[in-house]
Structure 1
Amino acid sequence: MPTTSYDRPLPLLQGVSDTVQPMPTTVLLQQEFQQGGAQSRLRLYPSATHFTVLRESAPDADAFLVGVLPSR
């Protein structure tokens, strides 16, 4: 995944209990995004797994989209 040349904010939503996409890999990606100048934000969900993180992060994901998408 490219880690440079992003001109929009990037959310990273990670379940701490995820065994499919382990948290250390996402933390490393976050560091690479920041080193590449990307405006990224990592949010951790302690009880979320790979299969529950979308449900648990929905309010934060919705807030992110409201903040970056143009209003009608």
Structure 2
Amino acid sequence: MMGMFWMALITSLTAWFCYMNTSEEIPRILAIAVGAMGVGCDLVIAPWPIQLSIVLFILYRTRHLSPPPTKAS
């Protein structure tokens, strides 16, 4: 299971590297697609401490995204 995790992680990082260093449209779209699939696989097969840390990170980061309260006049 850990081997698949590392393989998907390396694939995602390679796709990100290709995305950042390519200026043409089609290869960039394909790199995004491959990276998204790799991240999805990583989230599914990651060990539970990593999954828990990802969930806590997402919950912490989205706290500040709510719109400010409106004043009722």
Scaled by the length of structure 1, what TM-score is found?
Answer: 0.34
Could you say which structure has the higher strand fraction? 1
Instruction: Give the greater-gyration-radius structure (CA).
Output: 2
- Higher RCO (CA 8 Å, separation ≥ 6 residues): 1
Could you say which structure has the higher helix fraction? 2
